[in-house]
Amino acid sequence: MKLPVKKCKQCDSILYTSKYHCTNCYSDELELTEIDGKGKIYSYTKIHAAPKQFADQAPYYVILVHLDQGLKVTGRLNGNDVQIDTPVELDEIKERAYFFKAR
Ligand SMILES: [Zn+2]
């Protein structure tokens, strides 16, 4: 599944969709695009005491994924087999949260 991002028209940097200026060249000429949602688990943490709306899902993992195209995003893992460097891909986007699965 593809992941929505912004791309700088000046220097081709890939940026989070929340950005309004390029973090590399400060240009504000950004366009919405998508990148491949594939990457590797860079870091993770297990959540035991979850916020109210996720309490029924605890314990669960929050993972930091280093995408192949360079960006790091936080998300959740569908599954319980969590290890650093596990190849993952974007599985779904629910309530603006990224859910990854092993690939
Ligand atoms: Zn730029």
Same-domain check for residues 12 and 30: yes
Same-domain check for residues 30 and 45: no
Mean pLDDT of the chain: 94
Cα(84) to ligand 1 centroid in Å equals 30
Cα(102) to ligand 1 centroid in Å equals 32
Cα(72) to ligand 1 centroid in Å equals 17
CATH number for the domain that contains residue 91: 2.40.50.840
Q: Which domain range does residue 24 map to?
A: 1-36
Structure tokens at 42: 């860079």
How do residues 2-52 score in pLDDT, each as one tens digit? Answer: 999 999 999 999 999 999 999 999 999 999 999 999 999 999 999 999 888
Question: What's the pTM?
Answer: 0.87
CA distances from 10 to 5, 28, 29, 41, 60 (A): 15, 9, 7, 30, 40
Cα(74) to ligand 1 centroid in Å equals 23
Cα(64) to ligand 1 centroid in Å equals 24
What is the percent of the chain with per-residue pLDDT over 70, rounded to a whole number?
100
What is residue 75's predicted lDDT score, i.e. its pLDDT? 96
